[in-house]
Amino acid sequence: MTTTYHPRKSYFSPNRIQLTGKEVLRDCAEDRVRALEVFEYFKSKVDSDPMDDKSKSEMIKALQLSMDANDKKVKLLDMMTKLSIQQDKDKAAKGKEGLENLSFDDFKANK
Q: Is 2 a member of any domain? A: no
Stretch 81-95: mean pLDDT, rounded?
A: 79
Q: Which residues of 76-108 are buried (b: 16+ CB within 10 A; e: fewer)?
A: beeebeeeeeeeeeeeeeeeeeeeeeeeeeeee
* 29-54 pLDDT, tens digit each: 999 999 999 999 999 999 999 999 99
Could you give the number of structural domains in the chain? 1
The enclosing domain of 37 has a CATH number of 1.10.287.160
Range of the domain at 26: 18-109
CA distances from 58 to 15, 24, 37, 53 (A): 39, 25, 12, 9
Q: Is 27 a member of any domain? A: yes
Portion of the chain with pLDDT greater than 70, in percent = 84
Q: Is 79 a member of any domain? A: yes
User: What local confidence, expressed as pLDDT, does residue 96 receive?
Assistant: 61
